[in-house]
């Protein structure tokens, strides 16, 4: 068995350092891929630092994985050696419940098995993309179109699909409609990009005036609003068809709900510690509030193809694996525009 080189956290400090381990033997339905890049997600912080109390050390984080196929099992027909391939936030599921049958495996009734820090069907603990290679069942691998740069594809596998999935489910791909995006980080900047690709009029809401120029000029938003400015907020009352809320810090909800038109839809993809809303914010104007996780295998592949066709690219900062600890600290401090991507291929030695 080939030794796998990774970076792992050993305890709740979350400090990452080099770590050698073994992957499972290639099965008949498996794809083995040499990892070239891995995106850095807030989930990497949550589980390297045991924020949820269920970390299984040593933790090798990373669930925005891209690379090149180096071996395939005998039953694999979608991939061949040399293909560009991606792996997202989960690597297994029951394959038999109603959600798996609908290719919405993230909602598997027996629970989708996360790409890292989860117990796989063979009893081993899954280890993520801060590593030299991985072996994944073909079903949970994605074709990265040949014309799409691998480094830029990585953030699509969590940040991208997390906003694309609910935007499609709630039919936000209707040109001329009005979208609000709360928060302008890894998820928020992708929501803006998808919104513009769908032909929407996009308003960005942020607490930081420093993000105004990039929101309008780099990402192409139509308006930028400081959410603490009551006058700016009131001027937009009942003007939006949709809102995608990517903010994970605690924030009020009623001021944003008041900006939705009758039957407007508010989607939460961030994770604040609590949600407080007045029932009247929903009742009076027939509004909907909805949550969403990442997405199923079918819609994830659709999103990757859509991004390649429409030349939608995340804004990234490429880093070596040796910078991972600093990157996680900067992510906590929201000091990244807009996603770190680790260059595994050229730095993990």
Per-residue pLDDT tens for 126-183? 999 999 999 999 999 999 999 999 999 999 999 999 999 999 999 999 999 999 999 9
- pLDDT mean over 203-214: 93
Torsion region of 55: left, alpha or beta (phi above 0 gives left; psi -120 to 50 gives alpha): beta
Q: Please, which pLDDT band fits residue 112 given cuts at 50, 70 and 90?
A: very high
Residues 12 and 25 in one domain: yes
Residue 199 lies in a domain: yes
Residues 14 and 106 in one domain: yes
Residues 246 and 107 in one domain: no
Mean of all residue pLDDT scores within the chain = 96
Q: Which two structure tokens, joined as six digits, stand for 297?
A: 């295998």
**CATH label of the domain that carries residue 242:** 3.40.50.720
User: What phi and psi values does residue 345 have, to the nearest 5 degrees?
Assistant: -55, -40
In Å, what is the CA distance from 268 to each residue of 165, 243, 277? 12, 8, 13
In Å, what is the CA distance from 300 to each residue of 194, 245, 314? 14, 20, 15
Residue 48, CA atoms < 13 Å, CB-side half-sphere? 26
Q: Residue 182's beta-bridge partner residues?
A: 205, 245
Residue 296 in contact with residue 317, Cβ under 8 Å? no
User: Residue 272's pLDDT is what?
Assistant: 87
Residue 167 lies in a domain: yes
- pLDDT mean over 253-281: 94
Residues 30 and 143 in one domain: yes
Residue 245 lies in a domain: yes
Residues 250 and 265 in one domain: yes
What is the share, in percent, of the chain residues with pLDDT greater than 90? 95
Residues 149 and 13 in one domain: yes
Residue 250 lies in a domain: yes
Residue 301 lies in a domain: no
**CATH label of the domain that carries residue 72:** 3.90.180.10
User: Residue 26's pLDDT is what?
Assistant: 95
Residues 169 and 263 in one domain: yes
Residues 137 and 179 in one domain: no
Residue 308 lies in a domain: no
User: Residue 41's pLDDT is what?
Assistant: 95
SS3 209: helix
Q: Please, which pLDDT band fits residue 208 given cuts at 50, 70 and 90?
A: confident
Residues 20 and 113 in one domain: yes
Does the structure show a pLDDT above 90 at 2? Answer: no
Q: Please, which pLDDT band fits residue 249 given cuts at 50, 70 and 90?
A: confident
The boundaries of the domain holding residue 274 are 160-291
- 276-316 per-position pLDDT tens digit: 999 999 998 999 999 998 999 999 999 999 999 999 999 99
Count structural domains, the chain.
2
Residues 148 and 241 in one domain: no
Residue 102 lies in a domain: yes
Does the structure show a pLDDT above 90 at 94? Answer: yes
User: Residue 188's pLDDT is what?
Assistant: 96
Cα gap 178→110, rounded to integer Å: 38
Residue 306 lies in a domain: no
Residues 286 and 261 in one domain: yes
């Amino acid at each position: 068995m080939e030794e796998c080189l990774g970076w792992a956290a050993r305890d709740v400090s979350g400090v990452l350092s080099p770590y050698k381990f073994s992957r499972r033997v290639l099965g008949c339905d498996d794809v083995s891929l040499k990892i070239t890049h891995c995106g850095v997600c807030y989930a990497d912080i949550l589980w390297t630092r045991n924020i949820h109390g269920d970390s299984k050390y040593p933790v090798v984080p990373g669930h925005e994985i891209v690379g090149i196929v180096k071996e395939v099992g005998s039953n694999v027909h979608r991939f061949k050696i040399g293909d560009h391939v991606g792996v997202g936030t989960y690597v297994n599921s029951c394959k038999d419940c109603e959600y798996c049958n609908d290719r919405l495996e993230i909602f598997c009734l027996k629970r989708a098995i996360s790409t890292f820090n989860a117990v796989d069907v063979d009893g081993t603990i899954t280890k993520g993309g801060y590593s030299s290679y991985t072996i994944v069942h073909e079903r949970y691998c994605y074709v990265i179109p040949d014309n799409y740069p691998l480094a830029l594809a990585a953030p699509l596998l969590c940040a991208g699909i997390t906003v694309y999935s609910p935007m499609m489910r709630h039919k936000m791909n209707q040109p001329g409609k009005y979208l609000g995006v709360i928060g302008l980080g890894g998820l928020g900047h992708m929501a803006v990009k998808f919104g513009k690709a769908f032909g929407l009029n996009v308003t960005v809401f942020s607490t930081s005036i420093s993000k105004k120029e990039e929101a309008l000029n780099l990402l192409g938003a139509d308006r930028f609003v400081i959410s603490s400015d009551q006058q700016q907020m009131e001027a937009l009352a009942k003007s939006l068809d949709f809102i995608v809320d990517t903010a994970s810090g605690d924030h009020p909800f009623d001021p944003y709900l008041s900006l939705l038109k009758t039957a407007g839809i508010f989607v939460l993809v961030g994770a604040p510690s609590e949600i407080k809303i007045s029932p009247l914010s929903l009742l009076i104007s027939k509004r909907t509030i909805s949550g969403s996780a990442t997405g199923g295998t079918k819609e994830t592949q659709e999103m990757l193809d859509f991004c390649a066709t429409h030349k939608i690219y995340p804004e990234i900062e490429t880093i070596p694996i040796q910078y991972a600890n600093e990157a996680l600290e900067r992510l906590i401090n929201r000091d990244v525009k807009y996603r770190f991507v680790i260059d595994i291929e050229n730095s993990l030695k």
